[in-house]
């Protein structure tokens, strides 16, 4: 394809976490070189890259030096300052693109974009002061969720308001920053669509998957979703295509939805990068979300998104390390289970340390297998003394 960036070239990754690591592994398998840029050294991405740049994103001299050493840049983390992206664009393309990044890294801009483009969202109001919060609560009602307008993920920067008397504590908990108040959604499940848009505008997606969260962090993804009617799945895919096109996005991205109890889809968030709910594609799709993202940002044809077998993905959080290293032998004794660890040196509660993928004859069986394998990583509790 004309203008394609072919294997042998160097891909630059902004951010150095587990998403960058899995992208780098896919890139190296295809013959690309990889360099990563972030404030960290010895990072998950850096461990598998040709070069790791450790400097602040605001260090534009270092950013420009990084840009001169790569042929194209992408991101695995959306909280990248616009100044860094603009500095790189002086030398090479940055994909998914500045518009997609600027829109999705700020909740208020994202919600406003979605509403103005005609996509279904939860009711929301901008909140810039304590008095505006009172006004927003009167309009939207309670319960509601107050979220910081920018730079939040995995439930950070948000708090539930059950009644007007809780407003002051909620506002104070966010430090007085610009915020968004969202109406409470009565939903039956949370679903997402991971897909990719190519440089030529082509779109491919992996279908609708169902997500279960624990403490605001993704716990389990089941592919394909089991509780979504076919017409709703088609609607989710078309909404996702529309979001990608409106943003002019190039690369892999994810649209997260609430499926309400009355069958409506509401867009919750857009992530302009590979997504946790797409990790199962490494082991159970013809083309992983990471290879697909690489194909897109390098201007190559998108690959097949066919699911090879029903699958489930279970996150491995740092809590599993509370009693020492988990029993990986027990985990891998389960047929159909694959282990992915991210190379993080320190396990902390709530920190994503890795994931398991399970494949089986049905999605429900894959979900059971993934949960059983994760549970087996922990030794059974010691039996107490027998009663006398």
Residue 14, number of CB atoms within 10 A of its CB: 27
Q: Is residue 386's pLDDT more than 70?
A: no
CB of 279 closer than 8 Å to CB of 221? yes
What's the CATH number where 25 sits? 3.40.50.20
Domain final residue, candidates 136, 167, 183: 183
Supply the mean pLDDT for the chain: 94
Residues 14 and 157 in one domain: no
* 52 has pLDDT over 80: yes
CA-wise closest residue to 161 among 115, 188, 127, 120:
127
Q: Mark whether 88 and 140 lie in a shared domain.
A: no
Q: What is the pLDDT of residues 316-337, one digit of tens each?
A: 999 999 999 999 999 999 999 9
At 158 the pLDDT is 84
In a domain, 4, yes or no: no
Residue 134 lies in a domain: yes
Same domain, yes or no: 199 and 323: yes
pTM greater than 0.85 (yes/no) = yes
**% residues pLDDT > 90 (the chain):** 89
Predicted confidence at residue 150, as pLDDT, reads 74
pLDDT at residue number 383: 47
Q: Do residue 222 and residue 323 come from a single domain?
A: yes
For residue 106 the two structure tokens come to 């700020």
pLDDT at 149: 86
Give the C-alpha separation, 372 to 382, whole Å.
19
pLDDT band at 8 (very low <50, low <70, confident <90, very high): very high
Please tell me whether residues 179 and 233 are part of one structural domain: no
pLDDT of residue 175: 79
Domain boundary, last residue among 183, 212, 233: 183
Is the pLDDT at 124 greater than 60? The verdict is yes
211 and 343 assigned to the same domain: yes
Task: Work out the average pLDDT over 336-361.
Answer: 97
User: What share of the chain in percent tops pLDDT 70?
Assistant: 95
The count of domains in the chain is: 3
CATH number for the domain harbouring residue 137: 3.30.1490.20
Q: Edge-to-edge, what's the strand order for the sheet holding 51-54?
A: 51-54, 33-38, 10-14, 72-75
Q: Answer whether residue 206 is part of any domain.
A: yes
Same domain assignment for residues 156 and 228: no
Mean pLDDT of 82-107: 94
The two tokens of residue 356 are: 């398991």
- 346 and 316, same structural domain? yes
Domain-located, residue 128: yes
Residue 66 forms part of a structural domain: yes
User: How confident is the model over 306-316, as pLDDT tens digits?
Assistant: 999 999 999 99
Residue 113 domain-assigned (yes or no)? no
Note whether residue 2 is domain-resident.
no
Same domain, 157 and 80: no
pLDDT of res. 174? 84
The per-residue pLDDT for range 174-223, each reduced to its tens digit, is 877 789 999 999 999 999 999 999 999 999 999 999 999 999 899 999 99
Same-domain pairing of 174 and 59: no
Range of the domain at 83: 10-94
154 confidence band (pLDDT: 50, 70, 90)? low
Measure the CA–CA gap between 327 and 364, rounded to whole angstroms.
Answer: 24
Residue 198 and residue 179 share a domain = no
The pLDDT assigned to 156 comes to 64
Q: Within a domain: residue 5?
A: no
- Cα end-to-end span (Å), the chain: 78
Shared domain for 128 and 179, answered yes or no, is yes
- Indicate which CATH number applies to the domain containing 263: 3.30.470.20
pLDDT in tens, 263-286: 999 999 999 999 999 999 999 999
């Amino acid at each position: 394809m004309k203008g394609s960036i072919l294997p042998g070239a160097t891909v630059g990754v902004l951010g150095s976490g587990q998403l960058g690591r899995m992208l780098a592994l896919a890139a190296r398998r295809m013959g690309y070189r990889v360099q990563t840029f972030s404030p960290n050294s010895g990072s998950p991405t850096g461990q598998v890259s040709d070069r790791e740049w450790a400097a602040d994103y605001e260090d534009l001299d270092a950013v420009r030096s990084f840009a001169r050493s790569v042929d194209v840049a992408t991101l695995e983390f959306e909280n990248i300052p616009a100044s860094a992206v603009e500095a790189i664009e002086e030398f090479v393309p940055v994909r998914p693109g500045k518009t997609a990044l600027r829109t999705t890294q700020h909740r208020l801009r994202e919600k406003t974009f979605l509403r103005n483009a005609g996509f279904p969202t939860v009711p929301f109001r901008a909140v810039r002061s304590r008095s505006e919060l009172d006004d927003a609560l009167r309009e939207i009602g309670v319960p509601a969720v107050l979220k910081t307008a920018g730079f939040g993920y995995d439930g950070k920067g948000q708090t539930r308001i059950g009644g007007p008397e809780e407003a002051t504590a909620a506002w104070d908990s966010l430090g007085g920053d610009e915020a968004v108040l969202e109406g409470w959604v009565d939903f039956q499940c949370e679903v997402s669509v991971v897909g990719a848009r190519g440089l030529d505008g082509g779109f491919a997606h992996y279908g609708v998957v169902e997500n279960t969260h624990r403490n605001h962090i993704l716990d389990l993804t089941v592919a394909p979703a089991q509780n979504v009617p076919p017409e709703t799945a088609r609607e989710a895919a078309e909404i996702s295509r529309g979001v990608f096109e409106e943003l002019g996005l190039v690369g892999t991205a994810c649209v997260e939805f609430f499926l309400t109890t009355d069958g409506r889809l509401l867009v919750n968030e857009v992530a302009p990068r590979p997504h946790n709910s797409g990790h199962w594609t490494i082991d159970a799709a013809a083309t992983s979300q990471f290879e697909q993202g690489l194909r897109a940002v390098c201007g190559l044809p998108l690959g097949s998104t066919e699911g090879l077998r029903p699958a489930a993905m279970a996150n491995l959080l740092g809590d599993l390390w509370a009693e020492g290293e988990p029993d990986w032998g027990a985990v891998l004794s389960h047929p159909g289970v694959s282990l992915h660890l991210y190379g993080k040196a320190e396990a902390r509660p709530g920190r994503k340390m890795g994931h398991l993928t399970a494949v089986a004859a049905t999605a429900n069986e894959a979900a059971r297998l993934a949960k059983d394998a994760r549970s087996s990583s922990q030794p059974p509790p010691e039996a107490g003394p027998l009663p006398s």
